[in-house]
Structures are given as structure tokens and as C-alpha cells.
Amino acid sequence: MTRPYFKLARLWVQSHNILMTEQLEDLFEFLRFPSVSTDSSHAEDVRACAGWLIEKLTQMGLETELHETAKHPIVTARSKHDPAKKTCLIYGHYDVQPVDPIELWDTPPFEPVLRDGRIWARGATDNKGQILAHILGVEAALKEDGELPVNIIFLIEGEEEIGSPNLVPFLQKYKEELACDVIAVSDTGMVAKGVPTMGYGLRGIACCEVTLKGPSGDMHSGVYGGAIANPATAIARLVASLHDFDGNIAIDGFYDDVRPLETWEREAWAKVPGSSDQDTLDITGSPATFGEPGYSSAERLWARPTAEVNGIGGGYQGEGSKTVLPAEAMAKFSFRLVPDQEPKDIAKKVQAHLQKHCPPGVTMEIEVGHDGKPYICDPHSENGKAGQVALEKAFGKAPVLIREGGSIPIIQDLKEILGVESLMMGLALPDCQIHAPNENYYVENFEGGIRLNRALLKELAK
């Protein structure tokens, strides 16, 4: 029986002349797998999703392999190798974020819906829709031309959303088998609708969690308040110590290794659509911008480091009042890094700062979290220029060049282990709701991604 959303897809495709029905149905089927990598109850769903990829890539005539890891499988697929051709490795992931809070979804997250020109489902943009566009581009080329202009290797993991813990050992083990001339990645964003975007940098990251402990248990705030330290007050003071009043990061030595912006970058970014301070306010709904003085919102997001508190808590959280002096309080921190900052060095400086500014009367425990190095490449290299031409051919206008504010630590690992650069050609729009309820993906970007793949492979072959 044809599913109702497939009928809707056919009607939409026929009326807009956008996509072959089969391509859209492939995406819907891919999205139906609840491949949540962080939730052990979905382990079999993650594996089933990997199996679907293996079947799809095998049907295309590629040589496929399912690689077991300590957690979720890695999928590889490759075309028949021609030593006379360049080799392009296409990286992506098939795992997705959890769907909580489920009550905020307008439609079930793993039952894709086509509405208003968008596909609504968990993973629609991050990253199933983007990686499938590359897969379908290769499939179309094989069907129409019988061969590819370059050798292709697909590397698709199931652990990106949990930090890719098993991918680095895999890359080290199969370094020779994964040898390539360039890597293509569509797991980033476009600055605005219809504006093709080439990313040539990513911020790194370092995380930690701090717990401050005071009395052995919660105390009556009237009986003991004023005589002993309040961990909730102490954690607030500790968080506030990270910045000065103007927004500069107050950690000693934090900016020591920050690579300055190039003049051409500042000039180019000032012209990027959707990147003004007002655009930032429109997207975020914030009443005003705030951050390191002397930089625009785009410059702060793409090329300056940050210190953020991601969560803070302690004491009574229920309705009404409860006059308690909490026994402990906590805060979670993340630090976005830029070239040439090293995560391990920043982690040491952060710990030294926290210890120095820990208020009296409490003890402190610091748990170091995950980290990842920043990434940057030359967008004006031969491969970078090929990527820009491909983007222009796919979307009909010259691309803008940016660095991404987010972090994909594995991109730098790919560079260090395989020795090649990654072309980041994102298909996500600012309102695609990745990692949030009602994630969505524009159908026109799905189609554009298929065109992009075909154009990129031809340009790389030149």
C-alpha cells in the first residue's frame, strides 16, 4: 500500500517539477529509522539503518562493507578504482539526535511529512538528507553515464552525534584503504536561503562540568544561612568570573594563540547575506547582540573563541518557595576554539581559572568532557576553487566563503590522518531546527545537493 505521505510527495513533485518520486521516497524511508546513537534502546535501530545504507549502496553497484566497532557500525562504499582518476571521499553520518522534548514536535519525528516545501523529521537535515543527496548524485551519474569522473569512497558513520569515539581508530587502521585527494562534507549550513556557502573552517571545542559542594546535606536557610557558604551562590560567582563586564573572556592566557582574522575575511564577511547583527537578532529572537568588543556577530561566530555555560543548577526547583540552602550546585561549560588554540591547553587554563576563582566555603570537583580541534583550510586551493565552481553551478550564483561557528572534531582528524582537506558545502538553512523539535529540510536543497554532487565530481576531475 502506498503511504499517504508518498502520495503527497508525488503530487508536490509533479506540481513543482522538483524531484523524481523515487529519490524523495528513498529519503523518507531513510528518515523512518530512529537511529539515535546516544540511546542504547535504539541500538538495533541504528544497526538497521546502517543495513539500509549497505543495501542501497550495493544496489548502486558500489563495493560496500559494514565495519563493526565497539558501539555502532561504520559503512563504507567505493567505486571501482581507476588509478588514472582522482579520488574523492564523501563523509557523512546516519545517526541522529534524541527527539526530546517529544511534546514540542508538530508531527511524529520518525514519520516524515512533506509540508510547505520542506521535509519534517528528525535527521532530515542533520545529516540524512545531506548525505543522501550525495549518494543519489552518484547513483544518477552511474545510471546516466555508466561511470564516474572520479573514484568515490563513501565513509558514513553512526556515532557523529556522540563525538565519533570509534572513527579515529578506524581511520588509523584503514588509512591506506581510505587514501584520497580530497574530502567532501555536507554537514554544515548555508547562510541564507538560495545562497550557496563554502565553509573552510570550524571551531574546536573543550567541555567540562563543575560541581561545588558545601554542607553534607541541604540545610534550613534561616537556621544556617549567613553562617556557611551557599553552593548555588558560589556557582553563580564562578560562572560570572569567566567574562569581564564587556564580554571579554577573563581566563588568563585564553587568547594567547588565537589566529587573527585576515583582512580579506573581514571584508568578505561584511557582505555575506544573513550575517548582520540584525539578522542575528531576527534568527535568535534576542533583544540585543552581546560579545567580545570590536567584532561583528559574524566575526564572533566564525573566528573568535567563546566561553559558555550550557547548564546550571542547584537547590529547590519546584513550585513556590522552599527555604533551603543546597548542599551542592553544578554548571556545565563549553569553550569554542579557533585556530591555533589547542583543546588540551585551553582545558588546563580553564581548570586553573576555576580553581583560582572558586569562592571560599565550598569544595570543587571538575570533570573534563570531550574536546576537538579547530579546523581551517585554504578556500583558494585548487580543490577549494573546484568546490566553489560546483556550488555556483548547482545553485546558480557564486558562493560565499565562511568559517562555521560549530564544531565537527572529526574533520581535523581526517586532515591529520589522511593528509587532505575537506570541502564543507552545507545544505542546512538557519531555520532547519537541527538538534531541536521540528527539524526540517527544504526539498529544493535536497535537489540542489544532488546537483552539487554531480557538478563537484566533474570539477574535481578537471
Label residue 20 by pLDDT band (50, 70, 90).
low
Q: Are 187 and 406 in contact (CB under 8 A)?
A: no
pTM: 0.87
pLDDT at 260: 96
Instruction: Provide the terminal-to-terminal Cα distance of the chain, rounded to the nearest Å.
Output: 46
In the chain, domain spans: 4-202+375-461, 204-258+305-372
Share the mean pLDDT of the chain: 94
Strands (E), 158-196: 182-185
Is residue 21's pLDDT more than 90?
Answer: no
The model's pLDDT over 327-339, given as tens digits with 9 standing for 90+, comes to: 999 999 999 999 9
Beta bridge partners of 78: 63, 153
Question: What's phi and psi for 41, nearest 5 deg?
Answer: -70, -15
The model's pLDDT over 47-80, given as tens digits with 9 standing for 90+, comes to: 999 999 999 999 999 999 999 999 999 999 999 9
* CATH architecture of residue range(s) 4-202+375-461: 3-Layer(aba) Sandwich (3.40)
Q: Are 315 and 326 in contact (CB under 8 A)?
A: yes
Fold exhibited by the domain 204-258+305-372:
Alpha-Beta Plaits (3.30.70)
Of 188, 205, 200, 204, whose CA–CA distance to 265 is shortest? 200
Give the burial class of 244: count Cβ atoms within 10 A of its Cβ; 0-12 exposed, 13-18 middle, 19 or more buried.
Answer: exposed
Judge if 4-202+375-461 and 204-258+305-372 fold alike in CATH terms: no
The model's pLDDT over 296-313, given as tens digits with 9 standing for 90+, comes to: 999 999 999 999 999 999
Label residue 8 by pLDDT band (50, 70, 90).
very low
d(CA 266, CA 263): 5
Beta bridge partners of 328: 213
d(CA 99, CA 101): 6
What are 232's three cell numbers?
A: 548555588
- Say which DSSP state 102 is in: G
